[in-house]
Amino acid sequence: EVQLLESGGDLVQPGGSLRLSCAASGFTFSTYVMHWVRQAPRKGLEWVSAISGSGGRTYYADSVKGRFTISRDNSKSTLYLQMNSLRAEDTAVYHCVKDVGTNVYYMDVWGKGTTVTVSS
């Protein structure tokens, strides 16, 4: 069974940093593009970032570019999101999501998410 388990969410002050992790299992992790998608309280889905299977190509939403860094460790089947200079508007549930293919296309497996709250 394909599973994605996020961790690392926490309460952090504005300007602070946080690193999210996503442990993947049940599929050949290194093959697929992986995404982070967030959902602020009572809001819609917002795509955050994606990374190719090898890690050589990364993509970011304008709202996080320069502040967030996506990476992966294929030897550990783990996806990461380093979040710096956090703002109140980054408060959301962050989902780790598997793409169906080796290029950015659509998403077929979603993790339950980890909650990030940015507040003083």
Partner 1 sequence: QSVLTQPPSVSGAPGQRVTISCTGSSSNIGAGYDVHWYQQLPGTVPKLLIYGDTNRPSGVPDRFSGSKSGTSASLAITGLQAEDEADYYCQSYDSSMSGHVVFGGGTKVTVL
Residues lying near partner 1 in the complex (CB under 8 A) are found at 35, 37, 44-47, 49-50, 59-62, 65, 95, 100, 104-108, 110-113
CB atoms within 10 A of CB 103: 12
CB 110, min distance to partner 1, A:
4
Q: Can you tell me which residue has the tokens 């200079």? A: 85
Who contacts 44 (Cβ-Cβ below 8 Å, separation ≥6)? Answer: none
Helix, strand, coil shares of the chain, percent, nearest 5, are 5, 50, 45
Q: How far is the CB of 112 from partner 1 (least distance, A)?
A: 6
Q: Please give the single-letter amino acid code of residue 99.
A: D
Nearer to partner 1, 77 or 104 (CB): 104
Least separation in angstroms between CB 1 and partner 1: 15
Q: How far is the CB of 85 from partner 1 (least distance, A)?
A: 18
Nearer to partner 1, 16 or 46 (CB): 46
Nearer to partner 1, 59 or 117 (CB): 59
DSSP 89: G
